[in-house]
């Protein structure tokens, strides 16, 4: 029988799992990253699944609510989607840059950036379903949204492959793509 992990160790394993999860993040592939994050958090490595789920999904709820509320303000859906993409990509790029900081600072800043980036990804996920409905004419709206959904799910399916690539390469490439998409969305 394994001894019960100490709270500080469980917290450490949970935040390490969240940090690993940030390597798998993509703007549309959030379903897979959560499952992949849960897979790295097990009792065998001293992680408490419930505290891990509370931390990771706790960042999603404000993102969903905030993204929905901001879409109906003066910002509008397009600018809210652009800001969510840009800030999420910027958080991912800054997470990659934290490797040059001292270890204790890098962990704290990395966790904060990961959770803020996850909040932005949740907001962007909501916008991905609200905003495109306004882009297409009524005659092709259903087909266009279906094609977009297929590519989003394809990204979700391919996201676990990012775990085999170097973390820095994944963070910089996905962060750059999200930042570029955020800058191009208002155009």
Kindly give the confidence (pLDDT) of every residue in the chain, 187 residues in length, as a single tens digit, with 9 standing for 90 and above: 545 555 444 444 444 444 444 443 433 344 434 433 444 566 666 777 888 788 778 888 899 898 888 888 888 888 888 999 999 999 999 998 888 888 888 888 888 898 899 999 999 888 887 777 777 888 898 898 888 888 888 888 888 888 888 888 888 998 999 999 999 988 7
pLDDT at 170: 87
pLDDT at 91: 93
CATH of the domain at 146: 1.20.1250.20
Token pair recorded at residue 20: 């690993």
Q: In this structure, is residue 1 part of a structural domain?
A: no
Q: In this structure, is residue 83 part of a structural domain?
A: yes
Token pair recorded at residue 4: 């019960």
Instruction: Calculate Rg over the CA atoms of the chain.
Output: 17
Q: Which run of H or E residues covers position 126?
A: helix 103-130
Residue 179's Cα: distance from chain center in Å? 13
Q: Which of 16, 13, 18 is nearest to 48 (CA)?
A: 13
CA–CA separation, 124 and 121 (whole Å): 5
Residue written as tokens 């500080």? 8
Please give the DSSP secondary-structure letter assigned to residue 160.
Answer: G
pLDDT at 49: 81
Residue written as tokens 């849960």? 38
Per the structure, the count of domains in the chain is: 1
pLDDT at 149: 84
pLDDT at 89: 93
What domain range is 53 assigned to?
A: 7-184
Q: How far apart are the first and last CA of the chain?
A: 59
Q: In this structure, is residue 44 part of a structural domain?
A: yes
Q: In this structure, is residue 81 part of a structural domain?
A: yes
Token pair recorded at residue 114: 């990961």
Token pair recorded at residue 40: 């790295």
Q: In this structure, is residue 2 part of a structural domain?
A: no
Q: In this structure, is residue 69 part of a structural domain?
A: yes
Q: In this structure, is residue 159 part of a structural domain?
A: yes
Q: In this structure, is residue 123 part of a structural domain?
A: yes
């Amino acid at each position: 029988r394994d001894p019960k992990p100490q709270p500080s160790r469980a917290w450490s394993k949970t935040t390490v799992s969240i940090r690993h999860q940030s390597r798998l993040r993509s703007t549309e592939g959030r379903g897979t990253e959560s499952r992949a994050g849960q897979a790295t958090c097990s009792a065998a490595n001293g992680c408490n699944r419930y505290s891990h789920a509370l931390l990771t999904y706790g960042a999603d709820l404000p993102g969903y609510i905030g993204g929905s509320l901001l879409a109906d303000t003066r910002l509008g859906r397009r600018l809210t989607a652009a800001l969510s993409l840009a800030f999420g990509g910027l958080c991912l790029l800054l997470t990659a840059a934290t490797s040059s900081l001292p270890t204790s600072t890098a962990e704290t800043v990395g966790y904060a950036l990961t959770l803020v980036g996850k909040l932005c990804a949740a907001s962007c996920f909501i916008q991905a379903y609200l905003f495109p409905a306004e882009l297409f004419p009524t005659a092709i709206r259903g087909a266009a949204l279906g094609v977009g959904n297929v590519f989003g799910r394809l990204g979700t399916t391919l996201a676990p492959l990012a775990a085999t690539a170097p973390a820095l390469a994944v963070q910089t490439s996905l962060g750059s793509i999200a930042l570029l998409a955020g800058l191009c969305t208002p155009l």
